[in-house]
Structure 1
């Protein structure tokens, strides 16, 4: 590298950034896609590990949100007391930065980086507190959700429909020495949410419906993954810049947007930020100014540079006489792969006289792509305002606007006619005036066209028919031609206006039909009353404007179900009108006979059976009544939503009825099992006891022993039956407690086989265990119970012999129990694990309740394993039940024993 080449020396900005990053305090951010992914738990687990290694770790502030697992992880670590603030009579608790600075731990854990502090705090934002701690030399760990980054706030708002009120500058993520991505799949996060591990149950339900949808979580997860990958790319970039390695590199995209201090800068900056986010690319904004400009940037330029920094870009300002050369110099130094320019349309003369900046860059940029971003035309602000006013005037209904357009068109046509007459002799200029009439008819309609025809007739007479500049007509054929022109122009303009009106009506009707079809598809796809409610309020708000709220009928009460905007609520007086609409089945509220001064009008959603809901609608302009078309749209939407809601409610009732029927079936099965499986052993016990009582002196000792054995066996059978019922109840309630001990699978199988031999003395149980059989983590009693249930079931449905085999399969232990019975139908291989299902159907000669295999599945899942059935098993007969449990390694001290 030449010593005097300034372009190939290490980047001073990169070296400065490196020196700044080497300050005493280090920042580590645990980044997640959404609340509940486990950022706080990951921080606390790492904090416990460092604490065990002797690091001075202190919890500055942890938000547990009532989560038991988070509270358990926070226990055992030193926690700073919170600072109490009284804000408008409401007590608040905030992070105490003074206590943290006084304590000065080696590592401080502060949760929720995007939090907004109470008004009386030293800094308005918590991230500013953390910066002060870093400057004081304290290492800080914190947590952040991707939606709180400033550059992504608008993108997240469009994805989720919820605005982000608390944001963090992107530069803070860039300054962090470490960024740890904490990620779980959307389905698992939704399951955690429904289980109450993220929010309280009442909050969790609304969160699942509004924010925590699979689509939203997938989009947020992609943003988090992209931003983390971008952070890794930034680290590589800094290393290469510090070592003066030239680019551009193919490893990642780098963007450079060129700005000038005008009103287009903000649009260019935002487009570049979105493109950089989509490409996972770093980006630079270069503000260019020609020589002779003031040294200090003006207000507009300063605002543009601040916006660049806010959105995560790097801002630079250059004064240059050769924009193309300086842009390429910066691009090569910063290893830019794409240059972005704002582009306005240029006229033919400008293209002929001067080469554009884009053309100059494209000709000289080797290996760098040049992109043009469209900008509005170069019309000055005042001219744009005049054009906007003229456009609004042309679209405003009324005679003055029609007359103004007709006069403007006629004046323009007269000017064109004079210009043409000056260069050539035209025998008839009436066609030019007819063009003005057609323009008025196209833009405004029939009335404007007829007015243009009248004004054109007068103007043609005054300026082009001799004697000129009078309304007299010297020759009769000129009068006849003028009269024909007036009739033709009026008819043509009238037809043009009618065609325009019909086209606009057809377009409006087409859009209405498309919107109605989309609404119908939404209602057809809606599977619940809540889905129908949201489709209804969004349809009303999108089609008519204003605000909408839907109140669902539950019993005799009206419950808010959906609203747009989401924060819309009805006050007590408006609820009175809503109840009137519900009880009477009539429209009430705004511009009706009942409470007409309210802001909302309530429509009952009625079906032939009853009123299912009430829609509250507030129009955008309450001073004007709804048009006939809007009334029709609202009525159709109400009718469709009523039918869809009634269908959804019927589905809900059908599901409830099916659940009740299932409960009835289970009850019938339970009663049938009780009737058989309790009566049989009770009858045997009763008979044996009666025989013992009556024949106390006549019975031989062997008979007495046989009767006592019968009593013992049947009592054990009863005990197993009741135990199965209790065990199934505990599994259903989720209260089965599984110990996590090291279990010898071979011992568990031997215990279960011995128990099965005693229970079924006339049957053979063959055991085959692999010599290298491993251990599992679980409960030996429960595992033995599972194997015994499988053996008991196999003996009931087998014929002579039952075999149990165990071996290692990869990282699992596989235990199989095989019988030689008739087998199970393929359709029933999964159903046999359902409660009260019996492969023998209604055949009660086979003892049992149909609970054994269901209990086995519940216990195996509690120990982290799986169970399945195969049939046929051997020689086209029999059934094999296979249990797989994860292998566990014994600790070294256990192996030594």
Structure 2
């Protein structure tokens, strides 16, 4: 961005991000017309021919000429992709999507954007095939008639009387990169129809009678021109924003659309979409659900269908569960900066005495400064389907509860009345109504209220055993009782329904809580996967599978039941969900023939896997949908956490390896360079001076060469020993050893290398023989003596060997400064070096590590103790268990 632009001329960040996201994606060009026959395909093929002549790679993926000779002639010279036979429809050929992707031309022409694919295709709709081509970087040209737009379906039906079945979401057209309007005056189009240039004669006659009438075509032409103008206006606005051009800007509008499961909501969503398109404004579709009302069985499916419609029209979706819709909607409007409401308003009978304000009326009364659009239903609009009748046994149960409760209340009233006079026997019947409501719901409460009124009148109001009421005050009392019974029954049944809803929600919450606790205690990815599939199967009673990436492939990582198998279609749908981060499979727009519905498991770090649920062709209700999303979110987070833990361990291992490698290089650079430099210097002096040197000096140089060579040899031997231990190639012999002989040999070897070191030994006389490798044990003792000599501080080093219970214990003790308690285990790590007390080189840091490796290979243990004696020094203790009689100790691998 140029420095000349000020703060008011900043480029729009959303458009910049959108432009960046479109990199590598193909461009969509839509040839839009008002009706069939205006020349969309002809214009598209004419333009393709010119593009081919200019050297651009153009391929015809699918074109429908409908028998028009002029259109078919334009195909000459253009490459036409062969069609494939439909999988489940013999004799029908379909667009070959896989061949188009493999051919990958610069421009692909795929006619009839709104068409449906044959059963068994990867996608049910052709616009979904085009979306996949665009994602692969192929430019696509296609054609569309205005009546096929989803938001205009009801308007077109009102204009033409024909309900269009093949529809395209508006978002497809709004996301197109170019719209070419192919226009033809209605009168000229009708003449083309009569001349047989649109349909064959029989089809043309029927079309002219039903659809191709002057009024219809004029209205459709106006819709096409308006929608094209809106798209051009959007392009102009985007251009102005993208280039930060100053100008007058209209205030931003934002719509909130209120819907429910009623039949009017679909019209509300479509009308709101057209309104938002005209205002160039986003809109949010909000479903309203009362927290204190029972949800009908078909309500969640209707809401989900409306949400899918809203998303296809480019809107956002929200759910609002509340007991005060107006207040919560106004809060939502403030938080979302909404300026207008769109609400459905049913025609109500104004004479109804208990009529309260509708949602639209309440919003108008309280939404100060906000516009409220009321969408009314038509007189002949299809009403919402009636509440499905309850099963017969449910109705019989309600009647039985009501009759039994009233009969019991009557019997008690009569029995008690014979003993003592009752002035408030009506309370017994009121109790019967409440009990019926709690036990069997509002139907039983209503029946019990009516029966209670009749029984109360028949048995307890004068004259008895008739339904006649003699006294006026009895009439009033009976009326009050009946009203009270109805209200009490309604309230009790409402409490019962709310309790059942709360119980169901508590069960769901408890299930999710248990699942979350189970995941919190699980660290391995495999355990997380099995916990997730078992939870899904337990929650929904359906087979569940989890697919995880394994290299370049997607494989079944967990399934419940464990013997569940996925066929080729299932695996293809799972891969699609993983690669495109969108649902696929059953009841989706991609590979709906699959037995499972696959959904991606998304985490903050991307898609970590795919979850598949076998719904058996059933709709997913709202409660199941929310439960599924919650389980999937928790599983995705747990899988991501386990993956990050594995990566953390691997990273720690790599860091440790790097640390050891650096230590090894440091050790090699010091422990090889120092003796080599000393040897080189001594040899150079001997060569240059020769016989001119004093014999004593020459002997000192030769001794230095010998000592440094021995030191270098020990260093190389240590490296080789450590390599043998780590690679598992260390071979341990199983000979009977006299520990005392091994100790004496190690001491003698140490005295040759360290003549100033005083070593004291104490070996028990009853020390038994042990099975082991004398060479390895001697090397262990030498390494311990070598280490002790560096820190002995002139004090003697003591070796003790004794028998303790069923083990031989050997200890090497020095009286140096000792080891800190925190370092007692660290001293056995590779390349670990402590500070030195006598000025000697600290060594390679491998001696104690090699000692532990040799001891453990022979089946023993070694540990350090400090302080050893008189609050100072270090003791290295080796323990070898003695074999039972007749047995030997196997070496550790």
TM-score (norm 1): 0.51
For the pair 1:714 / 2:708, whether they are aligned, the reply is: yes
d(CA) in 2 for partners of 1:413, 1:598: 58
Match of 2:829 among 824, 827, 834: 834
Superposition pairs of residues 92-131 of structure 1, within 5 angstroms: none
Is the 1:836–1:849 Cα contact (8 Å) retained in structure 2? yes
3-state SS in 1 of match to 2:562: coil
Match of 1:599 among 587, 595, 614: 595
Residue deviations 1:15-74 (CA, integer Å, cap 9, x gap): xxxxxxxxxxxxxxxxxxxxxxxxxxxxxxxxxxxxxxxxxxxxxxxxxxxxxxxxxxxx
Match of 2:495 in 1: 499
d(CA) in 2 for partners of 1:668, 1:416: 94
Match of 2:775 in 1: 781
Measured on the aligned residues, the alpha-carbon RMSD in Å equals: 3.2
Deviation at residue 612 of structure 1 after TM alignment: 1.4
Match of 2:566 in 1: 570
Deviation at residue 629 of structure 1 after TM alignment: 1.8
d(CA) in 2 for partners of 1:397, 1:593: 39
Match of 2:803 among 786, 808, 811: 808
Match of 1:753 in 2: 747
Is the 2:791–2:814 Cα contact (8 Å) retained in structure 1? yes
d(CA) in 2 for partners of 1:424, 1:404: 30
Q: Are the structure 2 counterparts of residues 417 and 890 from structure 1 closer, same or farther at C-alpha, using a change threshold of 3 Å?
A: closer
Q: Are the structure 2 counterparts of residues 461 and 891 from structure 1 closer, same or farther at C-alpha, using a change threshold of 3 Å?
A: closer
Deviation at residue 837 of structure 1 after TM alignment: 1.0
d(CA) in 2 for partners of 1:842, 1:666: 25
Match of 1:688 in 2: 682
Match of 2:667 in 1: 673
Q: Are the structure 2 counterparts of residues 623 and 432 from structure 1 closer, same or farther at C-alpha, using a change threshold of 3 Å?
A: farther
d(CA) in 2 for partners of 1:873, 1:413: 91
Deviation at residue 718 of structure 1 after TM alignment: 1.7
Match of 2:135 in 1: none
Superposition pairs of residues 74-85 of structure 1, within 5 angstroms: none
d(CA) in 1 for partners of 2:646, 2:853: 28
Match of 1:724 among 718, 723, 743: 718
Is the 2:790–2:838 Cα contact (8 Å) retained in structure 1? no
Q: Are the structure 2 counterparts of residues 837 and 618 from structure 1 closer, same or farther at C-alpha, using a change threshold of 3 Å?
A: same
Residue deviations 1:715-745 (CA, integer Å, cap 9, x gap): 2222211111111121122232222211001
d(CA) in 2 for partners of 1:422, 1:452: 24
Deviation at residue 666 of structure 1 after TM alignment: 0.2
d(CA) in 2 for partners of 1:565, 1:589: 19
Deviation at residue 775 of structure 1 after TM alignment: 1.4
d(CA) in 1 for partners of 2:556, 2:472: 78
3-state SS in 2 of match to 1:695: helix
For the pair 1:740 / 2:744, whether they are aligned, the reply is: no
d(CA) in 1 for partners of 2:390, 2:416: 28
d(CA) in 2 for partners of 1:842, 1:819: 12
Q: Are the structure 2 counterparts of residues 861 and 639 from structure 1 closer, same or farther at C-alpha, using a change threshold of 3 Å?
A: same
For the pair 1:581 / 2:577, whether they are aligned, the reply is: yes
TM-score (norm 2): 0.52
Deviation at residue 396 of structure 1 after TM alignment: 7.8
Match of 1:153 in 2: none
3-state SS in 2 of match to 1:856: helix
Match of 2:849 among 850, 854, 862: 854
d(CA) in 2 for partners of 1:843, 1:676: 18
Is the 2:586–2:594 Cα contact (8 Å) retained in structure 1? yes
Residue deviations 1:100-132 (CA, integer Å, cap 9, x gap): xxxxxxxxxxxxxxxxxxxxxxxxxxxxxxxxx
Deviation at residue 675 of structure 1 after TM alignment: 0.4
Match of 2:869 in 1: 874
d(CA) in 1 for partners of 2:633, 2:408: 52
Deviation at residue 472 of structure 1 after TM alignment: 4.9
| Paired residue total | 498
For the pair 1:657 / 2:651, whether they are aligned, the reply is: yes
Q: Which moved more, 1:711-720 or 1:697-706?
A: 697-706
Is the 1:805–1:815 Cα contact (8 Å) retained in structure 2? yes
d(CA) in 1 for partners of 2:555, 2:710: 54
Q: Which moved more, 1:490-499 or 1:415-424?
A: 415-424
d(CA) in 2 for partners of 1:563, 1:664: 39
Deviation at residue 751 of structure 1 after TM alignment: 1.0
Q: Are the structure 2 counterparts of residues 663 and 587 from structure 1 closer, same or farther at C-alpha, using a change threshold of 3 Å?
A: same
3-state SS in 2 of match to 1:864: coil
Residue deviations 1:121-162 (CA, integer Å, cap 9, x gap): xxxxxxxxxxxxxxxxxxxxxxxxxxxxxxxxxxxxxxxxxx
d(CA) in 2 for partners of 1:826, 1:794: 17
d(CA) in 1 for partners of 2:422, 2:821: 94
Q: Are the structure 2 counterparts of residues 820 and 459 from structure 1 closer, same or farther at C-alpha, using a change threshold of 3 Å?
A: closer
Match of 1:524 among 512, 520, 523: 520
Q: Are the structure 2 counterparts of residues 395 and 441 from structure 1 closer, same or farther at C-alpha, using a change threshold of 3 Å?
A: farther
Match of 1:550 among 537, 546, 550: 546
Match of 1:767 in 2: 761
3-state SS in 1 of match to 2:780: helix
Is the 1:821–1:878 Cα contact (8 Å) retained in structure 2? yes
* Structure possessing the higher radius of gyration over alpha carbons: 2
For the pair 1:608 / 2:604, whether they are aligned, the reply is: yes
Q: Are the structure 2 counterparts of residues 889 and 608 from structure 1 closer, same or farther at C-alpha, using a change threshold of 3 Å?
A: closer
d(CA) in 2 for partners of 1:629, 1:804: 76
Match of 2:478 among 476, 482, 491: 482
Match of 2:636 in 1: 642
Q: Are the structure 2 counterparts of residues 768 and 395 from structure 1 closer, same or farther at C-alpha, using a change threshold of 3 Å?
A: farther
Is the 2:437–2:489 Cα contact (8 Å) retained in structure 1? yes
Deviation at residue 704 of structure 1 after TM alignment: 4.2
d(CA) in 1 for partners of 2:803, 2:472: 115
Is the 1:589–1:600 Cα contact (8 Å) retained in structure 2? yes
Deviation at residue 610 of structure 1 after TM alignment: 0.4
d(CA) in 2 for partners of 1:746, 1:854: 24
Match of 1:326 in 2: none
Q: Are the structure 2 counterparts of residues 419 and 665 from structure 1 closer, same or farther at C-alpha, using a change threshold of 3 Å?
A: same
Q: Are the structure 2 counterparts of residues 560 and 397 from structure 1 closer, same or farther at C-alpha, using a change threshold of 3 Å?
A: farther
d(CA) in 2 for partners of 1:847, 1:662: 22
Match of 1:327 in 2: none
d(CA) in 1 for partners of 2:537, 2:836: 56
Deviation at residue 559 of structure 1 after TM alignment: 3.4
Deviation at residue 573 of structure 1 after TM alignment: 1.9
Match of 1:222 in 2: none
Residue deviations 1:482-540 (CA, integer Å, cap 9, x gap): 32221111011111111212222222333333222222222222222223223322322
Is the 1:473–1:479 Cα contact (8 Å) retained in structure 2? yes
Is the 1:823–1:877 Cα contact (8 Å) retained in structure 2? yes
Deviation at residue 665 of structure 1 after TM alignment: 0.5
Q: Which moved more, 1:802-811 or 1:403-412?
A: 403-412
3-state SS in 1 of match to 2:692: coil
d(CA) in 1 for partners of 2:621, 2:436: 27
Match of 2:352 in 1: none
Residue deviations 1:430-475 (CA, integer Å, cap 9, x gap): 4443333222201122232123212333454466666777655455
Match of 1:794 among 788, 792, 817: 788
Is the 2:793–2:838 Cα contact (8 Å) retained in structure 1? no
d(CA) in 2 for partners of 1:404, 1:841: 95
